Amino acid sequence: MKGPDAAHSGKPLTMPSYPSNCLHFAKSLIETTLRGPHLKSSPVTLNIILVGAGLGGLVTAIALTKAGHRVKIYEQTAVLGEVGAGIQIPSNSTRILFTLGLQPYLEPYTTEPESIAFRRWQDGKVIGKTKLIPDFVDNFNAPYYVIHRAHFHSALCQKALDMGVEIKLGARVIDCDSVEGSITLADGTKHSGDLVVAADGIKSVARSVLLEGQEMPFRKSGFAAYRAVVDVNKMRSDSELSWILERPALNIWIGDSRHVMTYTIGAGKEFNMVLSHPDSSDPSTWDGQTALEDMKAEFQGWDPVLTKIISMAEKSIKWPLLSGSLLKRWTRGKLVILGDAAHAMLPYMSQGAAMAVEDGVALARSLSHMDSIEQLQEAVDIFQQVRIERAGQMQEASLLNGKLWHFADGPLQEARDAAMAPEVEGIPFNHSPNQWSDPATQMWCYGYDAEKEIDAAWGKAGMGQVNSVL
């Protein structure tokens, strides 16, 4: 006798709570019929003060505004802009950004790489490979992009302004009050709202208030990174280098204590490089005048193709690499922190900005479960619970890549390379030291749905299963 299927039993299919792709074929149908709309409007409209107009702050403002809240951003700089060069927008982030209506704002500036190739430091031999097109769109319903950080920021800013978000520039916040839900600016003025959301970065003022004057200890990685760009026209005119520009791709050379991540940005006009190397010195002692020559010296003896590209750079900036420690709380009263203020991490999973994007949509979703202002504390507590776990795990994954990529030649390096060989050869595999390719890590990292996790946490809260605030 046949057992009842979903149709005969009247019980619809639901996505499993455990990591599995067994229902991937029906994912869109299941989510359309069973889940509420993305970024549902909140029954309670809040006046929200948002501190910081960086990437995380702008995304959060967009998500909160889309959910029906009134948002005003206070930004300390007098002119909006971003420093740095390339940044990756992985599929878990683009999926959210598209839901927020950012696709047309981003696409003029993005490049969609076809793959990520891990290369041996000495000769550039491909030792690991992740296929991005079409795999990531097929499996995670969103492309994997790279973009210039300034273009990413300007796209977010334009979207926020088009939605009517007010951005007050030259407004440096020097204090926050978690009881009143207020901020104090350097000019002495005070501004209040129903909730203060601080996306004020690694040097967060709000975090100090939330931790009652204590500072979050940062974990020094022992590494720093040079950032540089090369004009692709220089590379294209060189027969030894032009092949690397034929198809958009990320290439990462890995070796003893060092790696170099490269990809084109500016819709293919510039070649971006991030060069990680050992450095435990105080950044205050760094000499910007020697950064370019110091960068070249760090990678002497590496693959001639790579060193030739490095030699074409005309300037470089050196950045310290720090990882925040795991915080036990992101909220206190009417104050919430998110983004780098809450979970600064190494860039080795290319997920720092993506975590801020997830934070923003998760907060908006949690607030949308409120039926009255009296549930504000519950809403921010649930947001905190869900996001602390996710961001903490991503910090851990980033730290692990800092070990996996930096083996000296020897038994561990040989075992790692052998374990990645199947993905290069096109042979089926069920695990890989390449976390972009490892099937379990892929599903956890890129298939994560921040709104779904918030919904599930609210469901548990309704059954009395939500964890208490730490």
Half-sphere exposure of 337 (CA within 13 A, CB side): 28
> Is 2 a residue whose pLDDT tops 70?
no
- Report the CATH number at residue 384: 3.50.50.60
Residue 283 preceded by cis peptide, ω within 30: no
pLDDT in tens, 373-409: 999 999 999 999 999 999 999 999 999 999 999 999 9
> Is 267 a residue whose pLDDT tops 60?
yes
pLDDT in tens, 439-449: 999 999 999 99
**The pLDDT value given to residue 13:** 76
CA distance 83 to 150: 7
Residue 52 domain-assigned (yes or no):
yes
> Is 39 a residue whose pLDDT tops 60?
no
Confidence tier at 31 by pLDDT (50, 70, 90)? low
**The pLDDT value given to residue 3:** 44
> Is 40 a residue whose pLDDT tops 70?
no
Residue 24 domain-assigned (yes or no):
no
**The pLDDT value given to residue 61:** 98
Of 280 and 51, more confident: 51
Residue 77 domain-assigned (yes or no):
yes
Dihedral class, residue 3 (left if φ above 0, else alpha if ψ from -120 to 50, else beta): beta
Domain count, the chain: 1
> Is 339 a residue whose pLDDT tops 70?
yes
Residue 246 domain-assigned (yes or no):
no
- Strand ranges in 75-194 using DSSP code E only, listed in sequence order: 86-89, 115-120, 126-131, 145-148, 166-168, 173-177, 182-185, 190-192
Of 11 and 3, more confident: 11
**The pLDDT value given to residue 22:** 82
Residues 6+ apart with CB under 8 A from 248: 111, 112, 113, 114, 263, 264, 268
- Which residue of the set 95, 227, 365, 387 is catalytic? 227
**220 touches 325 (CB < 8 A):** no
Confidence tier at 38 by pLDDT (50, 70, 90)? low
**The pLDDT value given to residue 33:** 46
> Is 94 a residue whose pLDDT tops 50?
yes
**The pLDDT value given to residue 36:** 44
> What's the whole-number mean pLDDT along residues 41-63?
95
Domain that holds residue 199: 47-82+150-217+324-462
The pTM of this model reads 0.92
pLDDT in tens, 110-144: 999 999 999 999 999 999 999 999 999 999 999 99
Residue 105 domain-assigned (yes or no):
no
> Is 452 a residue whose pLDDT tops 70?
yes
Confidence tier at 1 by pLDDT (50, 70, 90)? very low
Of 3 and 162, more confident: 162
pLDDT in tens, 214-259: 887 787 889 999 999 999 999 999 999 999 999 999 999 999 999 9
Residue 73 domain-assigned (yes or no):
yes
% of the chain residues with pLDDT over 70: 93
Residue 198 domain-assigned (yes or no):
yes
**The pLDDT value given to residue 370:** 96
227 an active-site residue?
yes
Residue 307 domain-assigned (yes or no):
no
